[in-house]
């Protein structure tokens, strides 16, 4: 048997490792615009866009502006209680008679509005509107009595401007109870 020479292991030709990245990089002194760009570099598969689900905070519950108005009704009922007892002590002034009439009504309406709103009853909205409307009527009556007594010290235009401004502000507050999504979603029972 003829003697065979040991064979050298033959290796398969290896591809150029830089071939997958495109041509060899150009020297740094080549301007950016003239450097060739491998299309393979930008042809990576695009991942599907990620979708995030953002949960909106629920508008149900006595929170936000609705809670602000509940606190205002509580404070208003306390103030009107004090005004009522102050009016009893000094009935000689005509505006105290107006306070004597409107204060107990406002206290009852405000407390009922607070109770029904916190219980999330639909009637709470109507009691809140009635409280604000009664307060507006009482404020207008009080301003008219003070102006008629001559102790206001303002002219007619300032008097009318004050009343109109007061009614607009109270109308905007009443509008909140009809337009608010929180009121619509909370006061449903």
Q: Where in the chain are the domains?
A: 64-185
Distance, CA of 118 to chain centre: 19
Distance CA 33, CA 75 (A): 72
Cα–Cα nearest to 183, from 60, 69, 101, 85? 60
Cβ contact 112:74 at 8 Å: no
Tens digits of residue pLDDT in 117-129: 999 999 999 999 9
**pLDDT at residue 67 in the model:** 96
Cβ contact 101:108 at 8 Å: no
- DSSP, collapsed to helix, strand or coil, labels residue 55 as coil
pTM above 0.75, yes or no: no
Q: What is the mean pLDDT of residues 146-150?
A: 89
Q: What percent of the chain has pLDDT over 90?
A: 59
Q: What is the mean pLDDT of residues 84-101?
A: 91
**pLDDT at residue 110 in the model:** 98
**pLDDT at residue 25 in the model:** 61
Token pair of 26 as six digits: 């150009």
Q: What is the mean pLDDT of residues 42-61?
A: 71
């Amino acid at each position: 048997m003829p003697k065979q020479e040991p064979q050298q292991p033959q290796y398969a030709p290896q591809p150029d490792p830089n071939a997958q990245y495109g041509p060899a990089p150009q020297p740094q002194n080549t301007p950016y615009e003239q450097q060739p760009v491998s299309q393979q570099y930008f042809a990576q598969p695009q991942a599907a866009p990620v979708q995030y689900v953002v949960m909106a905070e629920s508008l149900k519950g006595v929170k936000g502006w609705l809670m602000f108005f509940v606190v205002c009704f509580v404070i208003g009922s306390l103030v009107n209680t004090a005004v009522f007892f102050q009016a009893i002590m000094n009935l000689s002034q005509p505006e105290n008679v107006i306070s004597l009439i409107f204060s107990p009504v406002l206290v009852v309406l405000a407390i009922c509005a607070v109770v029904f709103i916190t219980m999330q009853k639909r009637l709470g909205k109507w009691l809140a509107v009635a409280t604000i409307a009664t307060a507006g009527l009482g404020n207008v009556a009080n301003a008219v009595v003070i102006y008629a007594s001559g102790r206001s010290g303002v002219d007619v235009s300032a008097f009318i401007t004050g009343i109109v401004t007061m009614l607009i502000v109270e109308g905007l507050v009443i509008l909140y109870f009809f337009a608010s999504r929180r009121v619509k979603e909370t006061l449903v029972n």
